[in-house]
């Protein structure tokens, strides 16, 4: 009985991972049929499942290499392939080959971001992500799509929409540190304030997601970039462990 319960415990987090992938697949289908808001909501729902699977694995003490790899493959579908295809149908369908290249470049950068994270998962103990996480890139893509539903004129500015997609693709493979907040001392000391901020964010998303998702992801990215540029000395060598690993392998 104990062994059977243990098997179910391993099955549970992988179920949430599979649901994340299913949301990505559903978003692609909705984007193909022009249901862009519904497609974006599926991607957001996938992000919810993605945040749950890891926590469930830690709570049940069922972390495994299989789960990590399955999670990454699911993330590539839900946060790499899915948003790129939906974005393509919304903005780049008539852009010809440049549009296809831009959409593929986002998928490629997402795959490289995940591969780099997996390769160094045991080395990176920092409070910062190395580059924008792929769910963040997907959120940025969703944000532009939702904003265009509120402001349809954005669709006509193709250079801006292409540049926007490429910008976030490059951020994912950059070495710019983005805060993870997982080990934030300020958050630990101000739990009430953090809970209040989370509540306000969720409430604003529920009321007006078309505007609030773009506002939140834009604020996070711009604030992170400004903090990096104004505190560059503090971040010198933050990811040097990667170079040390390459030297050891040689």
- For the chain (250 residues), the mean pLDDT of every run of 10, in chain order, is 54 86 96 94 92 76 79 94 96 88 96 90 73 94 93 90 96 91 61 71 73 87 92 75 48
Q: What's residue 21's pLDDT? A: 95
Q: CA 46 → CA 22, 78, 130, 209, distances in Å?
A: 8, 7, 22, 16
Are 131 and 178 a contacting pair, CB within 8 Å? Answer: yes
Give the C-alpha separation, 141 to 30, whole Å: 15
Query: 157 in helix, strand or coil?
Result: coil
Single pTM value for the model: 0.85
Q: What's residue 1's pLDDT? A: 46
60 burial class (0-12, 13-18, 19+ CB within 10 angstroms)?
middle
2 is written with which tokens? 């104990």
Are 213 and 139 a contacting pair, CB within 8 Å? Answer: yes
- The sign of the CA dihedral 34, 85, 167, 48 is positive
Of 238, 220, 225, the residue nearest 125 (C-alpha): 238
Torsion angles phi and psi, residue 129, rounded to 5: -80, 145
Give the C-alpha separation, 133 to 135, whole Å: 6
Q: What's residue 189's pLDDT? A: 64
Are 79 and 25 a contacting pair, CB within 8 Å? Answer: no
**Greatest C-alpha distance within the chain:** 61
Of 103, 100, 105, the residue nearest 144 (C-alpha): 103
Is CATH 1.20.120 the right assignment for the domain spanning 2-56+69-236? yes
Of 67, 97, 75, the residue nearest 20 (C-alpha): 75
Query: 60 in helix, strand or coil?
Result: coil
Q: What's residue 109's pLDDT? A: 97
H-helix or E-strand spanning residue 136: helix 134-150
Q: What's residue 60's pLDDT? A: 72
CA 110 to chain centroid, in Å, comes to 9
């Amino acid at each position: 009985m104990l062994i059977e319960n243990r098997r179910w415990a391993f099955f549970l987090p992988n179920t949430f991972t599979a649901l994340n992938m299913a949301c990505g697949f559903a978003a692609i289908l909705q984007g193909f049929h022009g249901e862009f808001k519904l497609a974006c909501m599926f991607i957001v729902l996938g992000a919810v499942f993605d945040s749950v699977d890891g926590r469930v694995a830690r709570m049940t003490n069922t972390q495994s290499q299989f789960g990590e790899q399955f999670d990454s493959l699911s993330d590539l579908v839900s946060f790499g392939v899915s948003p790129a295809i939906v974005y393509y149908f919304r903005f780049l369908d008539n852009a010809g080959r440049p549009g296809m290249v831009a959409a593929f470049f986002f998928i490629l950068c997402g795959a490289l971001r995940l591969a780099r994270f997996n390769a160094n998962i045991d080395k990176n103990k920092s409070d910062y992500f190395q580059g924008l996480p792929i769910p963040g890139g997907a959120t940025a893509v969703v944000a532009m799509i939702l904003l265009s539903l509120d402001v349809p004129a954005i669709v006509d500015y193709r250079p801006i929409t292409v540049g926007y997609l490429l910008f976030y693709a490059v951020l994912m493979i950059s070495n710019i540190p983005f805060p993870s907040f997982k080990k934030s001392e300020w958050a630990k000391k101000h739990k009430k304030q953090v809970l209040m901020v989370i509540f306000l964010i969720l409430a604003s998303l529920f009321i007006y997601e078309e505007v609030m998702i773009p506002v939140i992801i834009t604020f996070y990215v711009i604030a992170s970039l400004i903090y990096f540029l104004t505190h560059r000395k503090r971040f010198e060598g933050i990811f040097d462990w990667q170079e040390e690993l390459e030297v050891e392998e040689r």
